[in-house]
Structure 1
Amino acid sequence: MGVLNTVLVPCLTDNYCVLLHEPDSGETAVIDASSAPNIKAALNERGWRLNHIIITHHHTDHTAGVADLKASYGAAVTGPEAEADRIPGLTRGVTASTKISLAGHPINVIETPGHTLGHVTYHFPDDAMAFTGDTLFSLGCGRVFEGDPQMMWNSLSKIAALPGDTSIFCGHEYTLNNARFAMSIEPENEALQARVAEVEALRASGKPTLPTTIDVEKATNPFLRPQSHAIRARLGLEGALDWQIFERLRHLKNKA
């Protein structure tokens, strides 16, 4: 079992898909499929052939390329069982109890509803990687479209419980925008100040801000920091439950 190579593929306006390639077997997967032409170009550049399409949730900006890629490569399509009727060409529906792997690398399916009711996160424990779709972003989180704030907080908590060195690949390049909001919520956070400077430098040079890590997000992302006394004081919610802090933060970010 070789090391998985990862390639971040920019798609659409601000989406990211990720190619995963195991060089010994040649087995290749893509996490989410926003744009078939972009993914095909990245595959062709490296001489890789796509075997698996792995989907986090049903939104079109994560699935628009599925039909074309499946037809072109005969790739299997894996995605949340709860959204089977909303993901084109699905060949394998998964839940938290489903055992799956890529070229011998185990994949844990974590059910992370909130953004959509069937959203899942894929955790590769042996590779210290997780693909969080639109649940967790760097310095932010997804909007709560189909679930409720307590459900979304529970999902974020599952991701935050992963080992601190886990690399996090999210579905969008939202970090700079998220950084502005985070600074308005916890400006005294020195780790956040340093991360914002790093993000600004990366974007100024046209580089992605991903992957991030669990440790970085727990130190800087306000949506993972309801225990922060500074955040609670700023919101005037010192005695609130963690999910209620999250609810207020998500409400404020929606208006930002």
Structure 2
Amino acid sequence: MKVKVISILEDNYMYLVIGEQSHTAIAVDPAVPHRLLEIVRREGLSLTAVLTTHHHWDHAHGNEALVKEVPGLRVYGGDDRINALTDKVANGQELKFNSINVRCLFTPCHTSGHMCYFVWEDDCTDAPAVFTGDTLFVAGCGQFFEGTAEQMHHNLTKVLGVLPHETKVFCGHEYTIKNLKFALKVEPENEKVKEMLSWARARDDEDKPTVPSTLMEEFEYNPFLRLSEEGVQKFTGKTDPIEVLRVLRKEKDNFKKPKELLPPQAMLAIQWGLLGASSR
């Protein structure tokens, strides 16, 4: 199983999951449809399905154009607000596309209908993958726009956190450097965070993505998965895991250096739903 990472918009990712024997492909959050189709045609692939993590435009915008361009294309998701949705899926539901298997994981919080997708291929020794949209990022998690700390805690610990530790994590945005800067504030003595921040900066200098990480790695440096660690609890002043998570998310929401603040026009655009930067 091959996963093609495609950078789009300001900091989004869309993905192509490719069955190397069948030459079929599944798109994940294809917000820029014509670029996706160019890649599909160039590589001689057959696009069979779209998996949409949530309804925000920077993840679901391309669905309608793809359905028009590709006869019979199915669009899967967990929210009726998703553009061109053909198949609404439920938690635990499994889909099969030739040799590619998909398990749908309901992770409400960032949006009330958010779905992650755990993907593996038959008779393949490659590690499985999980497409986490705006629920789990490299070194971070999504904002609680339509949910609660209790929901996100369940998502991170009972849904995503119990997947095989070798699972590759493909998230919806390139927020890694900002997330690791916050992680360093939370745990200033965490050597893995320092190492990862240096690595992520080097990747950025080379204009290369930091995805995928692995779930095992996330447990080493992602503060939102380290709620029982002494340093994280000390930072938040809490010991109950849900309260630790609640404080962490509030602190992360306020964590912006002055040079990172957006101009007033951009902030208004975000509030009006015209930009997708607010999922950090």
Q: Tell me the TM-score normalized by structure 1.
A: 0.93
- 1:1-256 correspondence to structure 2 within 5 Å: 4-74=1-71, 75-80=73-78, 83-84=79-80, 86-126=81-121, 127-157=127-157, 158-237=159-238, 240-256=239-255
For 1:49, give the aligned amino acid: S
Q: Distance in 1 between matches of 2:103 and 2:172?
A: 18
Q: Distance in 2 between matches of 1:92 and 1:38?
A: 24
Q: Which moved more, 1:240-249 or 1:42-51?
A: 42-51
- Fraction of identical pairs, as percent: 32
SS at match of 1:50: strand
For 1:228, give the aligned amino acid: E
Q: Distance in 1 between matches of 2:184 and 2:151?
A: 25
Q: Which moved more, 1:93-102 or 1:134-143?
A: 93-102
- 8 Å Cα contact 1:26-1:48 kept in structure 2: yes
Q: Distance in 2 between matches of 1:211 and 1:162?
A: 15
Shift of 1:47: 2.3
Shift of 1:125: 4.5
Q: Tell me the TM-score normalized by structure 2.
A: 0.85
SS at match of 1:78: strand
- 8 Å Cα contact 1:28-1:52 kept in structure 2: yes
Q: 1:66 to 1:101 in 2, by over 3 A?
A: same
Q: Distance in 1 between matches of 2:213 and 2:222?
A: 11
- 8 Å Cα contact 1:166-1:213 kept in structure 2: yes
Deviation string 1:95-127 (CA, Å, 9 cap, x unpaired) is: 114221222332111111110111111112555
For 2:102, give the aligned amino acid: I
- 8 Å Cα contact 2:6-2:13 kept in structure 1: yes
- 8 Å Cα contact 2:5-2:14 kept in structure 1: yes
Q: Distance in 2 between matches of 1:177 and 1:103?
A: 38
- 8 Å Cα contact 2:8-2:32 kept in structure 1: yes
SS at match of 1:227: coil
- 8 Å Cα contact 2:19-2:100 kept in structure 1: no
What is the alpha-carbon root mean square deviation over aligned residues? 1.3
Displaced runs of 4+ in structure 1, greater than 4 A? none
For 2:243, give the aligned amino acid: Q
